[in-house]
Structure 1
Amino acid sequence: MVDIRGVPATDIDRALELAYLVFHDRPEEEARERHHTTLTRCERIGAYDGGDLVGFMAAHDFRLSVPGGDLPCPGLTYVGVAPTHRRRGVLTGLMSEMLRRAEAGRLPLAALWASEALIYGRFGFGAATTGATIEIDSTRPLALRIAPDRRPLRLVGPEEAVGLIGPYHEAARAARPGRPTRDPERWREEWLTEQDEDDEDLSPPRIIVLGEPGEPIAGYVLYRTKPGDDSGPVRTPGLVRVDELEADGPAVAAALWECVAALDLTGRVRAWGRPVDDPLLHFAADRDQVRVTAQFPALWLRLVDVGAALTARSWAAPVDLVLEVGDARLPANAGRFRLEAGPGGASYKPAEGAADLELDVRELAACYLGGTRVTALVAAGLVREHAPGAAAALDAALRTPVLPHTGDEF
């Protein structure tokens, strides 16, 4: 019988070996040391078959930006089951223990990035944000419809970056739901590492900030470069990989995009995990030059305490509905509840009588940050609308000024 319990620090190396087995990975020693350090700061749950560790799950101690606020939200990571113990309930046991701990700790949310989208819906997770990959043909100057901010640009080193762009990023999180916190260790170990684990040919991270000397920065871009390849029959131009770009407004963003698109010895810019409402897609003058090449579900969210989550966020418009919520994993969430919400706050209480909307906690999680429309899920047959107009009313109340988004893969 498999025993689900906490994983002591002495078993972290065993947990990593299991993760490398499951994800077909073979990292270098520097990366292994970094992974080990990361797990020392995480909550760890394991599945033991006798003395063998056959399943593992860890959780970062994050806070997540939500509309109008910031909530504690464990970020699940390193989720894996040994190939010898698949389809034996190990993952279900790990997830049940994680949800039990989150519920006991009064944590309203949990989040993850899914390596396989099919898996996590059955545990109540919904895809709450969407990411896009944007590519720029930089063999010619970037054509823009607006004037870039002409305040000075300057390079800063990684040793200075944590203290400079870290606070800027933290302040910017509040403007867009779905973004987890980053402590200085996460900056250094995940964003500013000398070598990228996935592509050894990429340069170390480069950071350019915009703003007058001695004044707070108005934005930054974090990027790496890769040389071109002239050895094959088709020349591959040098690449600029933009890992993150934050800006006070469109003119600042335009200046930063223009800068990375003009780097010598490169001919393409690729930015993975951008928001689908990125202003670049509007102020770029030539959409043949700036293209969205991929779009994908990003952050998966779980409402551990539906009532606490709904009453903690802000609401764009008044709404008064009875929701019938299904939750096979956490029975306290299941039932019929009246949601009364608006710009002044919200209440969520057990209700009697007919439901206006019937939905599973998975669909409610997908809509919670404002990134998925309830009306779209009604049209897809995933939410049942019993009162005409109920879905549209909830959409109006859930609406956010910008779409939720995160580029933090964990």
Structure 2
Amino acid sequence: MVDIREVPEADIDRAAELSYLVFHERPEKEEREKHRATLARCERIGAYDGDTLVGFVAAHDFRLSVPGADLPCPGLTFVSVAPTHRRRGVLTALMDEVLRRTGAAGTPLVALWASEAAIYGRFGFGAATQGVTVEIDSTRPLALRVDPDPRPLRLVDPEDAPTVIGPCHEAARASRAGRPTRGPERWRGEWLSEQDAFDEELSPPRIAVLGDPVAGYVLYRTKPEDDGGLVRTPGLVRVDELEARSPAVAAALWQYVASLDLTGKVSAWGRPADDPLLHFAADRDQVRVTAQFPALWLRLADVRAALTARSWAAPVERVLELTDVRVPANAGRFRLRAGPDGAAYERTGDAPDLVLDVRELAACYLGGTRAAELAAAGLVDERTPGAAEELDAALRTPLLPHTADEF
């Protein structure tokens, strides 16, 4: 048996070393110091075998944008179990403790990015947002079907970036569900770090903005071309984030990164699946989606609180029969009455219209996954024809949920 308890600050280095062991990492001193600072700000839960730390999970103190609201949502990170203690219930004990604490705090949601997608469904997490990787062949001018905003762009010092572009980022958070808060420490430690954590050949961050007040910005790094091998690799522009308040502003920013001298490729990881670029690019052979992947995984810790806190696009009244093996209070039959004026979610003995697990409801919660598609896949049992489509219409959002804030 392991003992689940708080990890004191004195054990932060042990927790980090456990993570490095599990994920086969050997970070440099600067990266280790950044991890230590991050963990010092997080809630920390450990599994101890005697005095040995054999399991660990940390939780960022985030809020998450959901349709019509901004809700507290711990962001789980550094989830690790020692290889000597795998398949002994350590991860289950840690996740149960996370859910116990979340329930005690009255927090409706928990989120994470999954290192292995097969693991977290059994703990009630569903893939609530999708990301795509977009690549642009920038060896020729970017062909567009809309006119770019003609206002000049200017570069911003990374030191000033949180103040300059922060309001634009917050406006983008409000317009799309699924985006966690980003405080000064996260801006500087993750997005604006001088050295990229994954590729030391990349430049420091560059930030170009358009408009005053800022109507859009692009945060990017560059890498010079490599012609020393058998195959020449053109210079790269890696777009880490691009936010724009109009299609014309977005067009200007994409045109800018695609026209940087001595580069021939733009790569943008973690773009929304409904990125306007994919529509206003004139040549889709030049602008290609090269990957699509589950991004933010969401857990409804308190289903009633989560459903009644968000806004609803259309009226719905259906009985849901929900299973939740980890949080029994969520399980049972509930009548959902919701619409533009609010929502109620109460226990009932009536026959269910939809039968589903909490992970499927979590996947649908932000509006990024359709219950009808899950029903077609055999993951939702639609007892009343049309019930899944009715729920989808009520959950719908103008923009797909999306985040590139990996943690």
Q: Is this a same-fold pair by TM over 0.5? A: yes
1:143-154 equivalences under 5 Å are: 143-154=143-154
- AA matched with 2:174: A
Given that 1:166 and 1:184 are in contact with CA atoms closer than 8 Å, whether structure 2 keeps it comes out as: no
- Secondary structure at the aligned position of 1:136 is classed as strand
Q: 1:361 aligns to what? A: 358
1:170 to partner: Cα distance:
1.4
- How many residue pairs align between the two structures? 407
Are positions 1:135 and 2:135 aligned together? yes
| 1:291 aligned to which of 288, 293, 300 | 288
TM-score (norm. length: structure 1): 0.99
Structure 2 distance, partners of 1:172, 1:117, is 27
Structure 2 distance, partners of 1:195, 1:67, is 35
Q: 2:165 aligns to what? A: 165
Structure 1 distance, partners of 2:354, 2:83, is 41
Q: 1:218 aligns to what? A: 215
Are positions 1:340 and 2:337 aligned together? yes
Gapped regions of structure 2 (runs ≥ 5)? none
Over the aligned positions, Cα root-mean-square deviation in angstroms equals 0.5
TM-score (norm. length: structure 2): 1.00
Are positions 1:13 and 2:33 aligned together? no
Are positions 1:320 and 2:317 aligned together? yes
Given that 1:339 and 1:348 are in contact with CA atoms closer than 8 Å, whether structure 2 keeps it comes out as: yes
Structure 2 distance, partners of 1:198, 1:20, is 15
Given that 1:370 and 1:404 are in contact with CA atoms closer than 8 Å, whether structure 2 keeps it comes out as: yes
Q: 2:376 aligns to what? A: 379
Given that 1:149 and 1:254 are in contact with CA atoms closer than 8 Å, whether structure 2 keeps it comes out as: yes
- AA matched with 2:159: E
Structure 2 distance, partners of 1:384, 1:87, is 31
- Secondary structure at the aligned position of 2:369 is classed as coil
Q: 1:396 aligns to what? A: 393
- Secondary structure at the aligned position of 1:159 is classed as coil
Are positions 1:182 and 2:182 aligned together? yes
Gapped regions of structure 1 (runs ≥ 5)? none
Q: 2:265 aligns to what? A: 268
Structure 1 distance, partners of 2:218, 2:114, is 26
Are positions 1:120 and 2:120 aligned together? yes
Structure 1 distance, partners of 2:172, 2:289, is 24
- Secondary structure at the aligned position of 1:118 is classed as coil
- AA matched with 2:180: P
Q: Deviations over 1:120-157 (max 9, x none)?
A: 00000000000000000000000000000011100001
| 1:258 aligned to which of 255, 258, 263 | 255
Are positions 1:68 and 2:68 aligned together? yes
- AA matched with 1:312: A
1:232 to partner: Cα distance:
1.4
Structure 2 distance, partners of 1:165, 1:100, is 37
- AA matched with 1:252: V
Structure 2 distance, partners of 1:19, 1:33, is 14
Runs of 4+ in 1 over 4 A off after TM superposition: none
Structure 2 distance, partners of 1:342, 1:263, is 48
Structure 2 distance, partners of 1:351, 1:319, is 16
1:234 to partner: Cα distance:
1.4
Structure 1 distance, partners of 2:191, 2:24, is 22
1:171 to partner: Cα distance:
2.1
- AA matched with 2:240: D
Q: Deviations over 1:102-129 (max 9, x none)?
A: 0110000000000000000000000000
Structure 1 distance, partners of 2:199, 2:26, is 13
Q: 2:97 aligns to what? A: 97
- AA matched with 1:393: E
